[in-house]
Amino acid sequence: MKHVALAVLLFFLLTAAAYAAVNINTASKEELTTLAGIGPVKAEAIIQRRQEKGPFKNIDELKEVYGIGDKIFARIKNDITADIPAPAPEVKPAPAAEPAAAGAAEAAPPAPAPANAPPPAEPEVKAAETQPLEQPK
């Protein structure tokens, strides 16, 4: 029974992998090497072409990469896409605060306390913070 379940699971995994197209404009080296006939060297060449000339406009442009001819292209053309990734949205900085108008008054100093206001409270001192006075000898 375990063998049957394992076989079914393996079938689904292989089927899912077969239907997952590799986007040649965004694929990593590891993803590109999953394609038939594409090893690490050709995957690196695809990435280098992408960096130098920008994204592939269609899958046929993949044949411009050194080492990818009609035979390899025929094997992988159904497994690849050339979807161009959407550009990242531009983040605009927040508008800067407007500078003070020329001749405007500087910030006014704080108003003095009213004459009948009670004096400020003394800070509370805790017993642990006090030190005993030295006794003269």
| pTM of the full structure | 0.52
Which residue type is seen at 103?
G
d(CA 24, CA 33): 11
Domain 22-81 in CATH 3.40.50.1860? The answer is: no
Taken in order 45, 47, 52, 56, the sign of the CA dihedral is: positive
Only one residue has tokens 């409270």, namely: 121
Of 28-42, 67-81, 108-122, minimum mean pLDDT range: 108-122
Which residue type is seen at 16?
A
Domain residue limits, the chain: 22-81
Closest CA to 75 of 129, 127, 105, 35: 35
DSSP state of 39: -
pLDDT classification of 129: cutoffs 50, 70, 90: low
